[in-house]
Structure formats: C-alpha cells, structure tokens
Amino acid sequence: MTAQEIKQALEKDGLGAGLTLFEGPKDPALVVPREQLLKVARHLRDARHLAFDLLIMVTGTHMIEKRDAKGVVLREPGFELIYHVRSVKNRALVAFKVKLPIGDPTVDSVSSIWPAADWHERETFDLVGITFKGHPDLRRILLPDDWEGHPLRKDYAYPKAYRDINLEVDPPWPTP
Amino acid sequence: MGLFERSLPDVHFLKLADAAIDWGRESSLWPMTFGSACCAIEMMAVGASKFDLDRFGAGAFRATPRQADLMIVAGTVNAKMALVVRRLYDQMPEPKYVMAMGACTVGGGPYWKHGYNVVKGIDKFVPVDVHVPGCPPRPEAIIEGIRFLQRKIRAKRVLTRGLDGTPDLAGVSVSPGTVGILDPTVRPAAPPPVPLAAGSKA
Amino acid sequence: MADAMTTASSAAPARTFIVPGDPLRPPDTHVDVRTQELQINMGPQHPSTHGVLRVAIWVDGEIVTRADPDIGYLHRCAEKIGESVTNIQYVPYTDRYDYLAAMNNNLGYCLAVERIAEVEVPERAQYIRTIAVELNRIASHLMAVGTYGLDVGAFTPFFYAFREREEILRILEWICGARLTYNFIRIGGVMRDAPEGWIPDIQKFLDLFESRLDEFNDLLTHNHIFVQRTANVGVITLEDALGYGITGPMLRGSGLRYDLRREAPYLLYDRFEFDVPIGTGIKGQVGDCWDRYWVRILEMRESVRIVRQAITQMPAGEIMAKNVRHLAFKSKPGEGYLGTENPRGELGYYLISEGQPNSYRSRIRAPSFCNLSILGKLLPGTMLADAVAIIGSTDIVLGEVDR
C-alpha cells in the first residue's frame, strides 16, 4: 500500500480533513494536522483494511529555517514529528508526519493507541523537547533527570560539566 | 612510606616478606565484573577459554565490589554512569587498582568531540593505574595490561619501600626513557570525592 | 500454601502469583507476618543485566509488584553525532551501538544511505555482505544463549558457546581485521574482497557447527533445570507484543511468523531458501522464555543454510560501487526509512538528507529499546528469580537501547 492509497482510503472513510501528501524525494509521507492526529491514528489501527498495529518509531526533528540564495524562505522554523507504523496483515509501512510550530511544540500522545509509543515519546521529549499531552508518565529517559536543555535541537551548546563531573572536550595534544 | 622505614636496618627477611606479599597480591587480582559497552564483550572473551585470564590469577570475576581488587572499567562512561562508577570505586576495600580499558575510558574514545554527556576519560574522577588503549582492545592487549599492573604491584614493596632510598626494579623491565612509570612512590592523586546529590537513585 | 495459590488462579496461566491486595490471596493465618514493600535496585552494575541497565523493582517478599526500567547509563549521543559527522565517518559509530551484531548495524546504515543517494552496489559485494551478516547473526545468538545460561546459573555452556563464537570472530577478523567492531560494510560495497582460503575456511566451520549445536542443545536446551526455570515464565501474548512494538525473536517466540527478510526483502534475501522458526509452546506456553530461546537456536541453523547458499551463488566481480567518491561523498536530498532484520529485531534508520556530506537527521530505531519497554508490564506478578530469567530472554544490548 503506498501513501497515496492510504490517503485515499482515509478520505473515503471521512477522515481526509486537512490531510496532504508530502511527495518529497525518496519516501512519501502523509501530513496530518495536529488536531486530527488521534482520530487518524486510531482509525489506522482499527480499520480492518488498514490494520496498522505495529508501531515502529516516533521521531522528532527540530527544523531550522531554510532560505535559498535570494533570501526566499523555503522552510519555516518548527518541529516535525514522523510516525512509522507497520501492518503485519497487509505487509505495509505507513509514515505520517505532524508539523508543529516553533513556539508551541505540544501534541497529543498516541500511547493510548500503541503502548510502544510510551518510551518513544519520552525519548522525543528528552532529546528534542516536544511535549505530549495525555502521556501517562512524561519524564526524561536517556539523560539524567536534572539535565538542562534538549540536545537534539540545532542550537544546543555542549555543557562543560554536569554537577561536579568535567565534560569538557580535551584540547588536542600540542605538537612538539 | 614503608612500614618499617628508618626503624630497622636493612633486613633480608623483610625483603622476602615483601616479595611474598607482592607476589600474593599480583597473582590473585580479582576483577569486578563491570563492563558497560563493547569492551565488556572483549573482557568476557578474555575470561573465556581461548584467552583464559585465569592462568594469570585474575579469573575469579566477583560481582560485588566488596570482594574485588581490580575494577576493570570497560566501556564508555557518561555523566549518569560516572556517579555510579565513583560509588563502586569507593566501595572497594584497599588495596584496589583500576584499569581503564578501551579508548573511551582513556580519553573519550570516538565520542571525544560530539559526545555531550560522555566523560572524556575516567581519570577525571577515579585514579587509574593502567590504561589499555584499543577500540576494543584485543584480549592479548588486556592480558598485557594485567601483566603491566602485576609488574607495578611487584615494585610496590609494602614493607621495605624507602629503606635504601631507591625503588627495587630487579626483574622489572624498564625501557629507556620511561622514568617514573614504575616508580612506586608516584601514585596518581585521587581526585576529590564526588558528592552524590540527594535523590540519586544509583 | 502452594495449593491455595495455584488453584485460585485458574484463569491466569501457570507460574504467576497473586500479588498482595488481591482478594483471592489467602490471609496469613498461622503466623502474624507483616510484610513491607521494599524497593530494590537491580543494576546498573549487575552480573545479569547484560550491560548497564537499572531496573527499579518493588518487591513484597519474593514477588515483584512493580518494575521500572531506568536506562540512559550508556547514552552516547548517537543521533547528535549522526548530524555532526559525515555519512562516511558515521559508519564506525554504527558498529558500537549493537556491538554484538556490528555487521548488521553497518549494513542497515549503508543500505539506508545508498537508498537515498541512489548508489548501485555490485553483486559480489552484496553476497559478501550477506555472508558477513549471517555469520554475525550466528555469533550474536551464540552470545545470547551462552549468557542466558550464565544468568540462570549454568556456567559451562557459556564456554561452549564462546568456543564457537571465537571461531566466527577469527573468520571475520581474517577479512576485515577486527574482532568486534568491524567497519567492514561501507557505503557502496565492502571494504575488502574475500582473501584466498576464506571461503573454504567458512565451509569447514559450517560443517563442524551443526554437530556442536547439537552438543550445546544436550547441555542446556533440554536440561531439566533450565526448562524448569524458563518454561511458562514471562509469557508475552501476541497482542501485547504487537502493541509494544516488539520485533525479532521475541515476536516470533510468541507465535507470529514475521521476519523482515521475508516481508520486505532487502539485500538479496529473496534469492535464498530458509525457514522462519516460531515458538510453538513445546515445553510450556507459547511465548514463554524457553520459546524465545528456542527460536534463537533454530535461527542459527537457518543462518547456516543461508551462508551455504550464498557461497555457492557468489559471482566474481567488483566489491565497491564506482560512483562513490569517498573523500567527497555527498548524498542526494531526500528522506527515507529502511528497516532490516537484526538478530534482536527490526533495526531501522530514518535519514533526512539535504545533499550535504552530513545528514540533517539520522534516527536509529533500535529493536532492544522497544523490546525492553514491555518489562514494566511483564515483571509484576513474577518471582524475583524469574525476573532475571525474563530480562535475559529479551536479549537486549544496552548500546542499542541507549544509543
């Protein structure tokens, strides 16, 4: 099943509001508006002809502004979440994206639909800083609980120390 | 400083006792099973049958720090883990030795530049006796590290160190230019203990 | 006491105990014992947690009431490094995430980059990749079953498994120079062609391996004590497994014949004949620890079949693509996801590339990360010793969980 076919199936089932297709070089993906996420996700899992039951991963990316040579804005700053889900019965993989504005990186949690999303969303919160509403236990998972900052943001500055531990990058050995 | 320094003349018996104590310590180094990453697999391989660390006396891997003499830190140590490593080091009874195994523990390894939470070398918070480079070091390199540590222990001479002024290097090979490496009076200074913050769950 | 506990739980499968607070639990009538829930810590330094995993366990007596895995003790900034170094420079880092199956990690990343950059890999390189990857799968499963024996207390099978593993590492060292972190599968092909005598050496090893595997089965697999400790323990139902995103031998142990080498073939797997073993509940229930372990043993035999077929089919030819300029490699703009079958499950790389030497985003989908997330649901209700057996059967590698 290609992304185009899934989009048509969703539109036929009445959930096509605001759905667009990201043609993008290489892998097409559905773009779902933030408000529709839970409804679309639940339908993707429960509908008999779709049956996307194995959540593969949830990825968050910090998108910085991109301008071309003339200064025309090619991409607004923001966050992008992409969900990959497999269907065991139909041997298919669907990728759907949610775009978030830079000032408000919050989105609904799909952990009630796919329990696998629990840890993936905790990791996205930890490293990128996207908050998931309705998540049962949103706290840092990979970094220590009192770490400051979200490392996978493009403007992250590496810390010099954590509590008393020195984390500085050693300067290269001086050549004689 | 030696136990009997300046209180007794040079006694042959004490030298024999020293040799016996050092031989006992070096031949039964019991490592603590503490591997975090890829180097841990090579540590298991060196304990397995092909490379057999047990023939050097260091085969009894103890899981608890209270019964171990040697902590082989095998694998990358990051900020979250460093507190745990320091606590384990403090729990080991004297005499204790630390081997930094693998490039990550020696100086950060491949993560030296972009690892924001990797500690670039464990000698930033524990005193290290021997560094074994490699990524991961071959089992033969680990065995060489153990033997280097055994030579270092042999030169320690707990009872009679300092009695005649010079360290006894008989039987220990020193290549020219390595002044100070096998000098038992030089021990790396222990860094100040890391206070474990309230609420740490380690 | 045993009777009350086992007959009361007729609806639940065998070997789960009634946790305190359950109305079916009989009152402690003969002795006034008050128990207190205690939080204990398993790890991060522990002989049986396969790395630096910490599981905070709350126990009441011997029964686990709550478990919370705490990871991050080996977080090595994989995704940040993926954005900071070039694609070519990133290949050695991929070795170190799942360090027991380093060839598979190399392969997953190189396939993902090659797909986006549209690089055509020559056929001989594909066959050498297949041989290396399947040999590494055997080595990884040997490590898994050997250390699983160690977890439940059997010290000897560990040495037997390592004897075979050392043979494979010697073969892989012959072709690429490293025993553990190979950096052998590069973007566009492989690093070095098979030297003279490599293939006959592999064939000699494969001929010996089947009988050694039977010996190992006699030692551990059908051992009565091992079966008692692992059968009917840690049963994962299929719907739980799918819900928690579990893939690999853990999913196949629960009865679903799902293998990415069959479902979405990559790298010539559609040319080989091999079976996909599943757990059928021979010794206990479908989806218990013994089933997952048995799937790994059977998969080793299937890998031997694949390597034999690859050796007979391998053509002569180039080993590196022509249009890859290693010193100035730039991918094409695009983004894509590619999943491969790691010994632990589905290893996937999602790359966003903007036509630069570096990726804009490189995200690793680690199978052990998802496989571990079920522990919070699986451990409560079991005994503490069973918890160790369950964690061992998930076959996690912490380098991959924490990346």
A167 touches chain B (CB under 8 A): yes
Contact A151/B at CB under 8 A? yes
Predicted ipTM of the assembly: 0.90
Query: A157 touching B, CB under 8 A?
Result: no
Cβ of residue C245 closer than 8 Å to a chain A Cβ: yes
Residue B3 lies in a domain: no
In a domain, B185, yes or no: no
Task: Looking at the complex, report in whole angstroms how far the Cα of residue A24 sits from the nearest Cα belonging to chain C.
Answer: 7
Lowest mean pLDDT among B124-138, B152-166, B181-195, C344-358: B181-195
CATH number of the domain where residue B54 is located: 3.40.50.12280
CA–CA gap between residue C316 and residue C124 (Å, rounded): 6
Domain count, chain C: 1
Q: Global pTM?
A: 0.86
What's C269's domain CATH number? Answer: 1.10.645.10
Using the Cβ of B82 and the Cβ atoms of chain A, whether some distance falls under 8 Å is answered with: yes
Band of the pLDDT at B21, cuts 50, 70, 90? Answer: confident
Judge whether residue C385 has pLDDT over 80: yes
User: Is C344 within 8 Å of C400 (Cβ atoms)?
Assistant: yes
Strand partners, C55: C42, C69
A143 at interface of C, judged by CB pairs closer than 8 A: yes
B123, closest residue in chain A (CA to CA): A166
Contact C93, C170 (CB under 8 A): no
C-facing residues of B in 165-194 (CB < 8 A) are none
- Which residue, among A6, A8, A32, A13, has the nearest Cα to A87 in the 3D structure? A6
Q: What is the pLDDT of residue B10?
A: 58
Residue B169 domain-assigned (yes or no): no
Beta bridge partners of B71: B32, B98
Q: Which residue has the higher pLDDT, B89 or B201?
A: B89
Asked whether the beta carbons of residue A26 and residue C115 sit closer than 8 angstroms, the reply is yes
Compute the nearest-CA separation of C226 from chain A (Å). Answer: 31
Q: CB distance from A171 to chain B under 8 Å? A: no
Per-residue confidence band for C26, with pLDDT thresholds at 50, 70 and 90: low
In a domain, B199, yes or no: no
Q: How far apart are CA C65 and CA C36, in angstroms?
A: 11
Residue C342 maps to a domain: yes
Q: Is A164 in the B-facing interface, judged by CB distances under 8 Å? A: yes
* pLDDT at position B191: 58
- Structural domains in chain B (count): 1
Question: Quick one: average pLDDT of B179-194?
Answer: 50
Cβ–Cβ gap A84/C348 under 8 Å: yes
C-interface mutation test, from B61, B77, B80, B92, most C Cβ less than 10 A away: B80
User: Which whole number is the average pLDDT over C177-188?
Assistant: 91
Interval B191-195 mean pLDDT: 60
Residue B100 lies in a domain: yes
Q: Which residue of B has its CA nearest to C399?
A: B37
B200 touches chain C (CB under 8 A): no
pLDDT range class, residue B184, cuts 50, 70, 90: very low
Q: Which of C53, C55, C71, C79 to mutate to test the interface with A (most CBs of A within 10 A)?
A: C79
Tokens 């860094």 locate to B191
The answer to whether residue C70 sits within a structural domain is: no
Q: Which residue segments constitute the domains of chain A, with CATH numbers given?
A: 3-66+76-166 (3.30.460.80)
pLDDT digits (tens, 9 = 90+) for C225-259: 999 999 888 899 999 999 999 999 999 999 999 99
Domain residues for the domain of C181 are 80-366+384-402
- Which residues are bridge partners to C38 per DSSP? C59
Residue B57 lies in a domain: yes
Residues paired with residue C337 on neighbouring β-strands, in sequence order: C350
Largest CA distance in chain A: 73
Using CB atoms, which chains have 3+ pairs under 8 A with A?
Answer: B, C
pLDDT at C126: 94
In a domain, C374, yes or no: no
Residue C251 in any domain: the answer is yes
Beta-carbon contacts of C261 under 8 Å, excluding residues fewer than 6 positions away, are: C269, C274, C276, C341
For residue C204, give both structure tokens: 């000699």
Above 90 in pLDDT, residue C168? yes
Q: Which residue of A has its CA nearest to C78?
A: A152
pLDDT at C14: 53
In a domain, B198, yes or no: no
> CA B171: distance to chain centroid?
20
Q: Are C103 and C178 contacting, i.e. CB atoms less than 8 angstroms apart? A: no
Task: Kindly state whether residue B126 falls inside one of the protein's structural domains.
Answer: yes
Residue B43 is part of which domain span? 29-143
Mean pLDDT of A51-64: 91
Secondary structure class of C11 (helix, strand, coil) = coil
Give yes or no for residue B9 having a pLDDT over 60. no
The predicted model gives C290-300 an average pLDDT of: 94
